[in-house]
Amino acid sequence: MHRNVFEKDATPSTSSVIANLTNATMDYNLLLELIRADPTLRRDVMRDYLPLLRMASNSNILALVGKGNGTCEDFVDLHPDPTNTTLAMVVFGIIYTHIFVLGLLGNAAIMYLTLRNRHLQTVQNIFILNLAMSDIIVCLLSVPITPVTNVSKTWFFGSYICHLLPFVQAVSVVVSTFSLSAIAIDRYSLVVRPHANLLQPRGAVIVAIILWVLAAVVSMPYCYFMTLEDYAGYCGKFCSEHWPNEIFRRGYTLVLLCFQFLIPFATMSCCYSAIFSHLRERANSKIKKLNERSQLLESARGLPLDNTIDAKETFEYKQKAQLLAKQRRITTILASMVLIFALSWLPHNIISLIIEYDATILVRDTNYTYIASTIAHCIAMTNNVANPVLYAWLNPSFKELLLKKFWHLSHSDKLSTTSGTPATTFTRVQRTDSKEVVVRINDAPADKEQFF
């Protein structure tokens, strides 16, 4: 809320006019004369009452306080907020730079390794590749542009980009979350229902294409309802949403919330909970068998069951310790996948709902809308850095191949002096009827926990 600067040293006629700014019977001609007599009022009227004057559609007033007289004011000068402070710009600049670099490098590495190594092109890894592609688009188009727009409050990229860019940003974000859901469903099928008809790599490519098409359909309204405008009294252009009515706008906000956050979160939670329960039962069953075997061995030796032999030295104890350690690791990874997704995107969706339904919550003496939006967006973008770690680096095939690639690059001079090229140790091939069949690594492992 802005202080009414007109009340100070105002003449009776001026005060009377100002008091009636919100009145439908406002004498705009009188206000016009006052502004002409005191040019300093132009800035104050534009700052505090321009939206009301714009609604009144009085062309003479708008021409005088706005660009009609060749003058305008920057939005950030009239409505400063915390994003325009030097500290905020420096902090956000550093954070967004790190997100941009790490997200781009991590996801580019996934794409490079997957496309260059056919044995990595499994169903699960095709979905991971799809995730990396969408995250790269987010890094290129959302990470640098959204904070710049939030700080400057103006649009620098023209009318065509105003329609296209929000659409592409929305598509890439929705595809990213759809891909996370597809990965969760694929892992559920492999672990919990290994004997079901598994999706093949070609089918995974078709599913990935369908995800892009569905995301484009969900995001299509951005192409129609984004408009580049200039407002009287403000310098620059503004890329804004213009919906037919409030019901449509709020309805679309809820639809986007469901497709981008609620449905993927529910899918991941259900699938990973089922995987966790299944693997825990397997681990408990193995531990139970080890205990029974240990008791049988002790009985066969004629030893009492409560004998004090140091169990830590037995092979069975080591196996149980390994099972428990693996179970803890799997629990940590599964929980991290769900929690990181939820914690990174939840603030963004909460702020979007607040702005949509009651933006006054963020507006007090200072407008906190832009700083809250930027912080929430920054947190959401960290997901682009976390995804390569959770879905590739923790995958043994990706990790081993990536380390081998780094080792090869660091020893390229030595390797160049040797003859021949060492065969890869990662392609696992079996021969069936004299035909080579590439095994889907991690798709049907002997020990299903290994792909975590």
The pLDDT assigned to 6 comes to 34
Closest CA to 259 of 171, 141, 138: 171
Q: Hey, is 237 helix, strand or coil?
A: strand
Instruction: Report pLDDT for 5.
Output: 34
Contacts 24+ apart (CB under 8 A), 320-329: 320/287, 320/290, 320/291, 323/283, 323/286, 323/287, 324/283, 324/287, 326/283, 326/449, 327/279, 327/280, 327/283, 329/452
Q: Could you tell me what percent of the chain has a pLDDT over 70?
A: 67
> So what's the pLDDT on residue 381?
96
Domains, the chain: 5-71 (no CATH), 82-276+365-400 (1.20.1070.10)
Q: Which residue has the higher pLDDT, 449 or 243?
A: 243
How close are the terminal C-alpha atoms of the chain, in Å?
A: 52
Question: Residues 159-194: pLDDT tens digits?
Answer: 999 999 999 999 999 999 999 999 999 989 888 888
Contact 22, 14 (CB under 8 A): no
Count Cβ neighbours within 10 Å for each residue of 303-326 and write b for 16 or more, e otherwise. Answer: eeeeeeeeeeeeebeebbeebeeb
Taking residue 106's Cβ as centre, other Cβ atoms within 10 Å add up to 21
The pLDDT of residue 377 is above 50? yes
Separation CA 169–CA 155 (nearest Å): 16
pLDDT at residue 35, rounded to an integer = 58
What are 423-448's pLDDT values in tens digits?
Answer: 333 333 333 333 333 333 333 343 44
Mean pLDDT of the chain: 77
Highest mean pLDDT among 2-11, 135-144, 149-158: 135-144
Cβ-count burial 348-377 (b if 16+ within 10 Å, e if not): bbebbebeeeeeeebeeeebbbbbbbbbbb
Vertex 136 angle, CA 131 and 142, to 5°: 115
Q: How many CA atoms lie within 13 A of 386 on its CB side?
A: 18
With 90 as the cut, is the pLDDT of residue 236 above it?
no
How confident is residue 288, by pLDDT bands cut at 50, 70 and 90? confident
- How far CA 158 is from CA of 124, 318, 378, in Å, comes to 39, 65, 24
Digit-coded pLDDT (tens) for 12-48:
444 455 555 545 445 556 665 665 566 556 556 555 5
What is the rounded radius of gyration, in angstroms, for the C-alpha atoms of the chain? 31
Of 209 and 8, the one with more pLDDT: 209
